[in-house]
Structure 1
Amino acid sequence: MQLNKPFATVTPTLDGDVLAVLASADVTFTVSQVQRILSTASGEGIRKVLNRLTAQGVVLHDEVGRTHTYRLNTEHLATEPIMELSRLNSTFLSRLTQHLGEWGTALRYGAVFGSAATGRMTLSSDIDLFLVRATDYGNDVWEQRVTELARLVTAWTGNEGRIVEFAEDEFRAAVDAGEPLLDDVAQQGLTVAGTRAWFIAQLRSGRRS
């Protein structure tokens, strides 16, 4: 799946893109406003989708003078699953955070980075995870957890989970060596375990020394 295009999991058509826009805010939209967000779609195509969704009752249409506005019908039976779909990215991050929270003090820091963090996923994209473990934590248990985490990420999304992991001493050595990956995580990573403040502090401390 593409976390940045959640409706594509159920429909590859323009309908999903339009619903994603309408579900993004509880406000009214004109066709031109939707088109500015969906820059590759035609105004006529968007208008047809909105009219079709209006006929289904999912969208409410209003006309003020010559201006036509549209908004999601929050009372429609289909609205709850539509909103759930629109939140797939945050749902994934929340589920990941909850799962990693069960690892306790073994996990010092975790973040999603790469295309899943920057909103540039394609269907074939991996989901990149960065983990730092406590140096004195047992390798066997850790490896089992990492293997299970990769399996869960694929089960949740359909995308392969690619996990980059460091023991804490290895992480500090990578900081000292100026490992470029760490800059990517610092600039674009989405923290899912530990705190971003801890991660940034380690980078700054290592580079000062």
Structure 2
Amino acid sequence: MTTRGAEARTSNAVHIIDDDLAIRRALTMLAEAAGLSVRAHADAESFLRRFDPQTSGCVVTDVRMPGASGLDLLRHLRQAAADLPVLVITGHGDVPMAVEAMKAGACDFLEKPFDSDAFLDAIGRALDQRARTRQAGTQTEVLRARRASLTEREAAVMDLVAEGLSNAETAARLSISVRTVENHRARVMEKMEARSLSDLVRMALRLGPA
């Protein structure tokens, strides 16, 4: 069953993949009752045929399916560099596969049988994770753009500040005066829009060396 296809690209879309029609329908009804947009697929191949790297929301997939398994799906998404959280459903005795799925990038797994609250809670965590990942990615891009505005010397000062060097130590490392370091540091704080030294250090650590 496919429902609200046009809405499936919204931030709360849930893509359900399971070869068992009864389970697929039951999970679709649960998600829709919670106000979520749903797109359901009978197998991983049908999902991948429609897959867009910009697809939003999260994926709920059975780990064991005819054809491509949930693990195969996870590997494909990893190769495509998709930031789509994947919630894996496992049957009795499939916990080792669930652990392997987590290592392959699954955000969580549910072992059958599970109740509706556990299912919806797991989806909520998956969607929250994606929102945090997207937000972090956007923030990192903003920080990269700010650092790109730094001169080579300012970027060097920022990196040394992140290492914990004092102004005097930075001046010695760069063979410049302490006053020059202070001036560079003030411009770095302004360009990076850092509110404090600790704020600047966090930014530098997130970005890594220039």
TM-score scaled by structure 2?
0.28
Q: Which has the higher strand share?
A: 1
Higher Cα Rg, which structure: 2
TM-score scaled by structure 1?
0.28
